[in-house]
Amino acid sequence: MPDVISSLQNPRVRQALNLQKNARARRSERRIVLEGVRLIGDALERGNTPEFVLYDLQTADYDLVAKLQETPSLLLPSSAEVIKHVSETQQPQGMVAVFPLPVPPVPKYPERVLILDAIREPGNMGTILRTAAASGVQMVLLASDCVDPYNPKVLRSGMGAHFRLPVIEATWSEITSFCEGVAFYIADSTGDVNYTSVDWRSRWALIIGNEARGIGERAKQLQTQRVAIPMAADTESLNAAVASAVILFEARRQRNS
């Protein structure tokens, strides 16, 4: 029986907890924490290897443990109390892993770009990233004032999107450079162009604005078209995640047809 980590003051436990709680630590160490079988397994299948894994001998998924034993990862049996202490979920799945920050390749001439402008809600951010990956977006650019894309809630709701497409924090100047030659579109409930009328088969960048305030002034300075999703009368506008999904999958439908 291997030694089981039971101290909450163990250096690895403290490091994992700090990465969970502290965005500055994630940036300076360039590491993130993933929890649970699905997220860790998905990252592993995409060629990413955790530096170390804390796992509960009683509740961990041993199929995944066996896969991890084939990697250079340091596997550290830990008490249920340690896993609960480090976990950010109400019901920990018995496994917490520290990975290097994912760095998917960045396309040189992207054709499908999603730009997020001050998206602040972690669940929205993660859902949007998951939708972007599923719909074939090639790159996501995060303008100023977005929530940390490696926040634990973003990682959980993103469901592995961070390992499938590049997620890049950028200034508006950098965004303009990334998107040279690309048509810009703003999702706007007051837009005068129906989202189905846009030719999404050409090169494009779609801008999704803040949940409460919409698009910021800097985004408005770009040469853009405002696209709207028609809705029944007397209904509230769609939230950022839902609007993203509607438009991005219309773009995918056009490409596939």
pLDDT category of residue 220 using cuts at 50, 70 and 90: confident
Q: What percent of the chain has pLDDT over 70?
A: 98
pLDDT at 185: 96
- pLDDT of 104 strictly over 60: yes
pLDDT at 176: 93
Average pLDDT estimate for 116-134: 96
Produce one character per residue of 166-189: b if its CB has 16 or more CB atoms within 10 Å, e if not.
Answer: bbbebebeebeebbeebbbbbbbb
Mean pLDDT of the chain, nearest integer: 94
Which phi and psi (to 5°) does residue 86 adopt? -85, -30
- pLDDT of 30 strictly over 70: yes
pLDDT at 215: 84
Strand 112-116 versus strand 31-35 pairing type? unpaired
pTM above 0.85, yes or no: yes
pLDDT at 224: 82
pLDDT at 234: 65
pLDDT in tens, 233-254: 667 778 899 999 999 999 999 9
Round to whole Å and give the CA distance between 142 and 212. Answer: 17
Round to whole Å and give the CA distance between 79 and 48. Answer: 25
Average pLDDT estimate for 62-87: 96
- pLDDT of 138 strictly over 70: yes
pLDDT at 19: 98
Which phi and psi (to 5°) does residue 156 adopt? -65, -45
pLDDT in tens, 148-190: 999 999 999 999 999 999 999 999 999 999 999 999 999 988 8
Q: Which domains does the chain have, with CATH numbers?
A: 11-100 (3.30.1330.30), 112-256 (3.40.1280.10)
- pLDDT of 20 strictly over 90: yes
Total residues belonging to the chain:
257
pLDDT category of residue 1 using cuts at 50, 70 and 90: low
